[in-house]
Structure 1
Amino acid sequence: MTQSDITPTVLLTGPTSGIGAAILRHLSVHPSRPRLLLAGRDPDRLARAVDASRAAGLHVHPIRLDLADLDSVADASSEISRLVEDGDVPGIDVAILNAGAQFTDRRHRGVQGWELTFTVNVVAQHSLLRGIRPLLAPGAHVVMMGSSTHRGKRASFHLIPDPVWQAPELLATAQPLPAGNERPSAEREAGGIAYASSKLALVTLAHRWAKELAEDGVRLNTYDPGLVAGTGLGRDMPGYRYWVWRRLMPAMSVLPGATTAGVTARHAVELALGDAHADLRDGYVEIGRVTRAEAITFDEARQADLWDWLERAADARSVEPIRRRTP
């Protein structure tokens, strides 16, 4: 453990299913017996996760968080701030920003009107980090959830298309509502590109956040869980595709670059709590192995452009007021 607090306070987003639920199971048996702030969207599933963690003897606070809605993100940050101010929990020692989303088209929108994949995977992550930054304890550690899809389709066994970088306002723009004659394959391609592009943006953003948080004495690293088939990530797939994803695709876990939720969760917790790679800063860890993010994610001009747009998006919380600044 590298945290100054022997019993660390851990914020985990998306703890109710998939990798997040597996991370929670590992946290529940970790020797440090962490205090938990569990942030999730579904109140019933969140309550069950809280009950299970309390049954394991942990001190737990549920936080309602819907990453599709920036107002919910702001409310969650305010709730955590209240808990800290009231002395219910100390500052946050570890933040595992696990929650994310993938959709089978690019037509969904978040509450504020931006394309939903980009909203959940990028805009909301930035907004949440802005909100909790003052609550991070000295020496804290933030882990953002990357993806091999930011490298291109070869890294995802050709299951996800290559990412396509665009100006942030274009990445955040949803396609129009369907006219009714769309080809399913084209819709899936657009949804896959949106997901891969959002992860490319998130990894790019992580480098800038690592620099920002270093000024506060806080570490940030990106964790790539590998291909973990069978999770709820593709929950809006057609029924038969989702059945294949849930029931047959987990057999791919024996391949290099693929794994199970339990295995990748163990590595994620080891990284987050400092049991592994305790001195790593602005690193990229794939299923427990330190690698390096794609070179393009280190482009400082791209980082600055993305950061500038996200700052304005987080402040405006609606599509219309967002305009590119003039030099």
Structure 2
Amino acid sequence: MNEQVRGGRIPPLQGFLGNAGVQLTRADTATADGFETTFAVNVLANYVLLTELEFAAPGRIAITGSDTHFGDLRHNLGLVPGPKWDRVDRLVTPGTQGKGRRAYATSKLAVIYLVHALARRLPEGVDIYTHNPGLVPGTGLARGSNALGRFVFRSVLPLLRVTPFATGPKTAGELLAATVAGRRPGGSGSYVDRGTVTSSSPESYDETRSEALFRELAELVRAPRTPSTAPPSQR
């Protein structure tokens, strides 16, 4: 695609929405390249795409985050353990995060670090945001859970839509679309919580971690792992 852009056959991108993501009950599964699945899908894939594609101003990028990165009762009702930060070489190693939902929260903290790092690097006029949809029961996010977990996510948690804690899929989609294509929500790098720019967790503003993540992801892409690096149970 970049060759077509440079050759003038197609214009550079002006928009990108990174809404793909997984939440698993385990953190010891691996991709074909040997990376821990949650981190690979939620973080590494966005890094690869956004550093390989070419963008032009005016442009807008949004990556879906989660308030699970706060790791407290107020933001996730105790449903998801808080993030556990570590070096990237460990975060991409299956089994280091213990539980799958902790791996999910950690990956969403990493998304914010990635957004902050890219906001410092993208061309002027190309804005990037972390979009938090809140809890959105009724989607396929819990499809990797056991039968009880799937039932709760599908049939019980939707009752929370009458509270500030949860949003329906239709409303969540409209808010996400507005972040990408509506009025400019705020400065590049902002955390957009259901349409409103607000602060993410204090931990998410650690620039040293953000820059280390960006640097280590670059090294990881240059020297990818093989499936043999996964734990024996995953080989």
TM-score under structure 1 normalisation? Answer: 0.64
Q: Is the 8 A contact 1:153 1:159 kept in 2?
A: no
Alignment of 1:190 with 2:99, yes or no, is: yes
Select the residue among 21, 30, 45 that pairs with 1:124.
45
Q: How far did residue 150 of structure 1 move?
A: 0.6
Q: Is the 8 A contact 2:29 2:37 kept in 1?
A: yes
Q: How far did residue 138 of structure 1 move?
A: 1.9
Look up the equivalent residue of 2:67 and give its one-letter code.
S
Give the total of aligned pairs. Answer: 227
Q: How far did residue 151 of structure 1 move?
A: 0.5
Distance verdict in 2 for CA 1:142–1:311, change over 3 Å: same
SS in 2 for 1:96: strand
Select the residue among 96, 108, 111 that pairs with 1:202.
111
Q: Is the 8 A contact 2:111 2:130 kept in 1?
A: no
Select the residue among 195, 204, 213 that pairs with 1:288.
195
Q: How far did residue 83 of structure 1 move?
A: 6.2
Select the residue among 291, 306, 315 that pairs with 2:213.
306
Report what 2:142 is aligned to.
Answer: 234
For 1:105 and 1:239, locate their aligned partners in 2 and report how far apart those are by CA, in whole Å. Answer: 15
Alignment of 1:211 with 2:120, yes or no, is: yes
Q: How far did residue 287 of structure 1 move?
A: 0.7
**Whose relative contact order is higher, 1 or 2, with alpha carbons under 8 Å and at least 6 apart?**
2
SS in 2 for 1:220: strand
1:136-175 residue pairs with structure 2 within 5 A? 136-154=55-73, 155-175=75-95
Distance verdict in 2 for CA 1:217–1:319, change over 3 Å: farther
Report what 2:233 is aligned to.
Answer: none
The CA deviation string for residues 177-199 of structure 1, in whole angstroms up to 9 with x for no partner, is: xxxxxxxxxx9x71111110111
Q: How far did residue 87 of structure 1 move?
A: 6.8
For 1:151 and 1:229, locate their aligned partners in 2 and report how far apart those are by CA, in whole Å. Answer: 19
The runs of at least 4 consecutive aligned structure 1 residues that moved more than 6 Å come to 85-88
Q: How far did residue 259 of structure 1 move?
A: 0.6
Distance verdict in 2 for CA 1:236–1:144, change over 3 Å: same
| Larger Rg, first or second structure (1 or 2) | 1
Q: How far did residue 280 of structure 1 move?
A: 2.8
Report what 1:50 is aligned to.
Answer: none
1:84-95 residue pairs with structure 2 within 5 A? 84=5, 89-95=10-16
Q: How far did residue 174 of structure 1 move?
A: 0.6
Alignment of 1:220 with 2:128, yes or no, is: yes
Distance verdict in 2 for CA 1:319–1:166, change over 3 Å: farther
Q: Is the 8 A contact 1:143 1:220 kept in 2?
A: yes
